[in-house]
Amino acid sequence: MWYPKPFSRNQLLIALMVSSLLLLSGFMAWWLRRSFREQKQLLVAEASQPFFRSVMGLQDSLITQKVLRPMQAKGLGGSIRIMTMQPRRDSLFHPPQQAFFRHIERRTGTPPPVGRRPVFFGRGIPASLARIGPDSLRDSLKIKELSIRYQLELDTSALRIRYSVFRMTAPPPRHSDTLFTNAFQAGLPPDHFYVARIEDYVPLVLKRMVPQILFSVFLLGLTTVAFVLVFRSLRAQQKLTAMKNDFISNITHELKTPISTVSVAIEALSHFDALKDPERTREYLAISKTELNRLNLLVDKVLKTALFDQQRIAYHFETLPLVPLIQEVLDSLRVQFEKTEADVRFQHGTGAFSVSGDRVHLMNVLYNLLDNALKYSRSRPNICLSLTDMPHGIRLQVQDQGIGIEPEYQLQVFEKFFRVPTGDVHNVKGYGLGLSYVHQIITGHGGTIRLDSEPGRGSTFEITFPYHG
């Protein structure tokens, strides 16, 4: 029976992060879409108010010209009420279908006869006004004049839009991709609807939404960066845990070796009458001393690493000539060089090559670099040290012709506990601490260290010290 493979912790975390980002993106899209609709409605309301004033102003002019003046000329008395449409004041977003009538009363100057009611001029032509002439009572607003008046109203309202004015027999549909102002009835009689179409409204609406868009992008970007940093931190912690496990495996093996060797030597001295043979006794004691020194160096290296973790390392700076310091280290390693048949060269000029540094730590740096050059050479190591005066400082190079390092690992070799994968963690003894220690010491001295390596051809560690004083 097939069982689904369970999710790993990283896969579950990635799934949760991606789901959260998708949900956040969906919410932001919904919020922005809603804001876009609201801004469209607000733009319609802002554009409709000056358009209404333009229509009513032109309508009043038309009534005065076509009705009131002819009535005065023909001596017709009475009053006229023109019923027109006006948007509701209680809401900016009510459609014109829910508008109410505004009564504009125009007086001709003579009172109406007693008992006569005012004549209402709505969608038809009243019989009492037929004497003016039916042709005079049928007219509409001029589109060009309405456009000019609307532009003046827009300038007064400080509203910058591109528009086109239309005369229609019915209001335009509300739900369409085209954006219109509210439609208003006007004319003689008011049988037509006048409306302005807002051109290229999308960039204008988006410009108004810039704060919302920027906030959405910022929030989504900030959340994404936070998730990425959390995931990278988790991966780094997992990687560090794996390195520490390898370190514990290696160091346990290394601790057992000197302990076992010393135990065997002591057992031989105790049970095989080795004390009666002074030569063998000295040999066993020398072996025990060597292994104990090795154990002491191992413990000291671990303690130094702990001090670096706590940032409690102390430097004792003094003026140090590098040539005698390097020569002293080479002399102390002469036995190891002879044992491995290493060819070691030290090249330097006649300069002082003096730096300000801690003697002990700089010697440890050299020990670590030379020890790596010996360990990672196949046979008869070839090592070259060189000192050079540079414009920006003193350059020390430690070059070998060993196995080299793959390019993808060259930046990681200075990380704590990192060891280049070889398939056998005990093939070359080490703890992943040496180069990390070297990097921290050189950085603490204000210098830099760089690695140039090619697999199969060797490695070159280049250290640059700032000039003393």
pLDDT class for 205, splitting at 50, 70, 90? very high
Predicted confidence at residue 308, as pLDDT, reads 58
Beta strands in 360-445 (DSSP E): 382-390, 393-400
Question: What's this model's pTM, rounded to 2 decimal places?
Answer: 0.51
DSSP state of 408: G
pLDDT class for 191, splitting at 50, 70, 90? confident
Predicted confidence at residue 152, as pLDDT, reads 93
Name the β-bridge partners of 355: 320
- Please say if the pLDDT value at position 162 is more than 70: yes
- Please say if the pLDDT value at position 469 is more than 70: no
- Please say if the pLDDT value at position 296 is more than 60: yes
pLDDT tens column, 32-48: 999 999 999 999 999 99
Out of 148-157, 163-172, 232-241, least confident range? 232-241
Higher pLDDT among residues 126 and 73, named by residue: 73
Domains and CATH numbers, the chain: 9-208 (no CATH), 235-309 (1.10.287.130), 317-465 (3.30.565.10)
Angle at 353 between CA 349 and CA 358, to 5 degrees: 145
* Tokens standing for residue 244: 């520490």
Predicted confidence at residue 303, as pLDDT, reads 63
Cβ pair 206, 11 in contact under 8 A: no
Beta strands in 64-202 (DSSP E): 79-86, 100-107, 119-121, 162-168, 179-180, 184-186, 192-199
Predicted confidence at residue 315, as pLDDT, reads 80
> What does the alpha-carbon distance between residue 77 and residue 109 come to, in Å, rounded to a whole number?
7
Locus of tokens 């839009």: 161
pLDDT tens column, 433-449: 678 888 888 988 899 99
Cβ pair 76, 116 in contact under 8 A: no
> What does the alpha-carbon distance between residue 192 and residue 62 come to, in Å, rounded to a whole number?
14
pLDDT tens column, 82-115: 544 444 443 433 444 333 334 344 444 444 444 3
* Tokens standing for residue 469: 């004083």
Higher pLDDT among residues 224 and 350, named by residue: 224
Cβ pair 323, 389 in contact under 8 A: no
Predicted confidence at residue 408, as pLDDT, reads 82
Name the β-bridge partners of 461: 398, 451
Locus of tokens 């704060």: 211
Predicted confidence at residue 11, as pLDDT, reads 83
Most confident of 120-129, 162-171, 405-414: 162-171
> What does the alpha-carbon distance between residue 220 and residue 212 come to, in Å, rounded to a whole number?
12
Cβ pair 108, 77 in contact under 8 A: yes
Predicted confidence at residue 77, as pLDDT, reads 55
Predicted confidence at residue 90, as pLDDT, reads 39
Mean pLDDT in residue range 267-287 = 71
> What does the alpha-carbon distance between residue 285 and residue 28 come to, in Å, rounded to a whole number?
77
Predicted confidence at residue 33, as pLDDT, reads 93
pLDDT class for 194, splitting at 50, 70, 90? very high
Predicted confidence at residue 425, as pLDDT, reads 41
Helix (H, G, I), strand (E, B) or coil at 95: coil
pLDDT tens column, 394-428: 999 999 988 888 888 877 788 776 777 664 444 55
Cβ pair 96, 184 in contact under 8 A: yes
Cβ pair 354, 320 in contact under 8 A: yes
Mean pLDDT in residue range 158-184 = 87
Predicted confidence at residue 88, as pLDDT, reads 44
Most confident of 171-180, 218-227, 246-255, 310-319: 218-227
Locus of tokens 């005990």: 426
pLDDT class for 380, splitting at 50, 70, 90? confident
Higher pLDDT among residues 243 and 212, named by residue: 212
- Please say if the pLDDT value at position 74 is more than 60: yes
> What does the alpha-carbon distance between residue 314 and residue 188 come to, in Å, rounded to a whole number?
99
DSSP element (H, E) containing 61: helix 9-63
pLDDT tens column, 323-376: 999 998 888 778 778 888 889 999 988 777 889 998 888 988 898 888 888 888
